[in-house]
Chain A
Amino acid sequence: MSTNKNVIVENQGVKIAKMMLESKRQTQKEVLWAYENDPSIKEAIAKLKKRNADRGTPVIA
Chain B
Amino acid sequence: MPTEEHQSLPKYDFEFVGGKFNSYLFQTQYDIIYEITFKPSGYIFEENHSFKEKTFEFSIIPIENPNKINLPLDKRVPDTIASIFSDFFQQHDRIVVYACETADNRASARFRKFNQWFDWYKGTSFFKVDMQMGNDNKGEIYFTSLIIKIDNPDAIEIVAAFRQMIMSNQK
Contacts and interface: CB of A to CB of B under 8 A. Distances in A.
Interface of A: 6, 8-14, 16-21, 23-25, 27-28, 30-32, 34-35, 40-41, 44-45, 47-49, 51-52, 55, 57-61
Interface in B146-166: 165-166
A contact patch SS: helix
What range describes how many residues of B lie at the interface? 35 or more
Contact of B17 (A25, A32, A41): A41
Interface string B19-54: 101010111110001010101010110000000000
Interface string B127-171: 000010111110000111000000000000000000001111111
Nearest to B13: A60
Contact of A23 (B14, B17, B39, B76): B39
A9 B17 CA distance: 41
B26 A27 contact: no
12 contacts: A20-B57, A21-B102, A23-B57, A24-B57, A31-B23, A31-B63, A35-B35, A41-B23, A51-B13, A55-B13, A59-B11, A60-B12
